[in-house]
Amino acid sequence: MAAHEATETRGAGATVPLEVRIGFAHACLQWIADRCGADLLHIKGAALDPTLVPGRGFSDADVLARPEHVRMLLDELRHHGWELINSFAYGSSFEHSATLRHSDFGLLDLHRIYPGTGPTPDRAFEALWAERTTTVLGGVDCTVPSRDAQALLLLLHAARAGSDPKAANDVEWVWTTVDDAQRIRILEWVDRLDAGLAFSVITGTLDDHRDDPAYDLWRVAARGGTRVDEWRARVRAAQGLRAKLAVASRSMLVNVEHLTIVRGRPVSRREVAAEFFGRPVRGVREQVARRARGIHRGDP
Amino acid sequence: MTAAYRPGPDAGVTRSDDGRSVYVARLPGGPLVVLEGVAALIWGEATSAPATGWVARVAELFEQPEDAIEDDVKAFVAELGARGLLVAAALEPGPED
């Protein structure tokens, strides 16, 4: 009788479709959350209501945790075979998610914030949590936002995806072609999640928000920019001098965990040093190249 | 009407679209087990109502006498049980095996 264990390292034997592994990643997270008392919502990917964007593909599992439960979840995940690949500070300009990997279940993005939502991460989560529903993933009932909230979350994701064709397709399905009633329901969620700035990318009115400290973050995310642009935007968006200094200092640090994954082996001091000096240099080179091409958009 | 067995309390189960494979994960840490062919059919009948006659249904699918396959089927189900992937359902009449 054919029963095989399927892990990434075994190679031989049965193969498991990626969407099946990801479904089990969601099931695993729900199992852990149920037992440690953490609140989380499964978002995007396998958890997305299939009627929003039919046939939409995915490559990892995304979950949004109640902010005060994130530390507990991270600790639990590490006890159950999940390896941290990228911590929050290094995940993206929005510092919103940590990436973990499991040998059986693949990649997971654990979000502590959903970029574009507010007014605080706690209140945004609570608004989504208050109207949660469930869907079955990996054979387990998993908590997900309401369908209309999912539609907005997908649009906010598209807002920071630049010219990605998949994001454009999402906008087409979830916003451009929907009827007025659906748009009104989405706009209600824009208000509830204080998502006006990020949503303005979708409506083409981002420049109406130039005075917002987070404007540059969304401008760079939506339209592109150099690494220097990106870090400048992160500093501007950070609230308070201490936070700004922390962001500025991080721009100079090296994420050794990530470098290890990229290299596939423990990194040497020499490699860490090379990366340390390489990143600012790379930023300068991009900036110089953009100035030379006359397309620099970082300064007013 | 209930089945003879159900997935373990710490097992997640997904079937392939074509129904030929059953993926069962021990939660939360794995492993992930793939059941194909005969194994998938045994899982399907063991977890489908009614409990009564489920081994006979497997035998019928493979055009074999029930007593010729019963020991192998029981051994396989026991292995899944030992892994925590399958447990006997709480039954009114009880499973026939």
CB contact under 8 A, B33 and A3: yes
Q: Is the pLDDT of residue A156 over 60?
A: yes
pLDDT grade for A132, boundaries at 50, 70 and 90: very high
| pLDDT above 50 for A221 | yes
- % residues pLDDT > 90 (chain A): 60
pLDDT in tens, A184-195: 999 999 999 999
Identity (one letter) of the amino acid at A280?
P
- CA distances to A157, A164, A166, A190, A222 from A199, in Å: 10, 17, 17, 7, 11
Of A4, A13, A138, the CB nearest to B25: A138
Chain A residues within 8 A of B6 when measuring between CB atoms: none
Establish if B91 belongs to a structural domain.
no
Going by C-alpha positions, the residue among B12, B5, B28, B2 that lies closest to residue B81 is B5
A106 touching B (Cβ < 8 Å): no
Residue A13: its chain B contacts at CB < 8 A? 34
A67 to A79, A133, A150, A203, B20: CA distances (angstroms): 20, 19, 19, 29, 41
CA dist A233 and A213 (Å) reads 8
B43 Cβ contact partners less than 8 Å away, ≥ 6 residues apart: B22, B24, B35, B80, B86
Min Cα distance A103 → chain B (Å) is 9
Q: Is the peptide bond before B50 cis (omega within 30 degrees of 0)?
A: yes
* Most confident region among A36-50, A242-256, A269-283 by mean pLDDT: A36-50
Nearest to B27 among A1, A2, A27 (CB): A27
**Chains A, B: CB pairs < 8 Å:** 96
The interface residues of chain B toward chain A in range 16-45, judged by CB-CB distance below 8 A, are 16, 21, 23, 25, 27-40, 42
Angle at A135 between CA A139 and CA A39, to 5 degrees: 95
Cα(B22)–Cα(A86) distance, rounded to whole angstroms? Answer: 32
- Say what the alpha-carbon torsion angle A35, A37, A41, A45 is, to the nearest 10 degrees: -30
- pLDDT, tens only, A1-21: 667 777 544 444 468 999 999
Question: Does B90 reside within a domain?
Answer: no
- How confident is the prediction for chain A on average, in pLDDT? 82
Mean pLDDT by 10 residues, chain B (97 residues): 93 92 95 92 94 93 91 93 92 48
Residue B97 within any structural domain of the chain: no
What pLDDT, on a 0 to 100 scale, did the predictor assign at position A188? 98
Q: What percent of chain B has pLDDT over 90?
A: 77
B14–A7 CB contact, under 8 Å: no
Q: Which residue has the higher pLDDT, A167 or A257?
A: A167
Token reading at A43: 């978002």
Q: Of residues A129 and A221, which shows the higher confidence score?
A: A129
Domain residues for B70? 5-84
- Cβ within 8 Å of residue B25, ≥6 positions away: A24, A27, A28, A104, A105, A138, A139, B11, B12, B13, B31, B32, B33
Q: Which residue of A has its CA nearest to B29?
A: A80
Give the model confidence (pLDDT) of A173-212 as tens digits.
999 999 999 999 999 999 999 999 999 999 999 999 999 9
Listed in sequence order, the residues at least 6 apart from B22 whose beta carbon sits closer than 8 Å to its beta carbon are B13, B14, B15, B16, B34, B35, B39, B40, B43, B44
Total number of domains in chain B? 1
Q: The complex's ipTM?
A: 0.87
Q: Which residue has the tokens 């990643």?
A: A25
3-state helix, strand, coil in chain A (%, to 5): 55, 15, 35
How confident is residue A254, by pLDDT bands cut at 50, 70 and 90?
very low
* Chain A contact probe: residue of B18, B24, B32, B77 with most A CBs at under 10 A: B32
Asked if residue B94 is part of any domain, the answer here is no
Name the band, by pLDDT with cuts 50, 70 and 90, for residue A291: low
Angle between the A147-159 and A196-203 helix axes, to the nearest 10 degrees?
70
**What pLDDT, on the 0 to 100 scale, is given for residue A163?**
86
Cβ of A267 under 8 Å from any chain B Cβ?
A: no
Q: Which residues pair with A134 in a beta bridge?
A: A143
Task: Tell me which amino acid residue B95 is.
Answer: P
Contact map slice: A 50-89 vs B, CB within 8 A: 80-81
In this complex, the residue of A2, A21, A138 whose CB is nearest that of residue B35 is A2
Report yes or no on B65 lying in a domain. Answer: yes
- Partner residue opposite A81 with nearest CB, options B29, B38, B76: B29
Strand partners, B33: A5, B24
Closest chain B CA to residue A101: B29
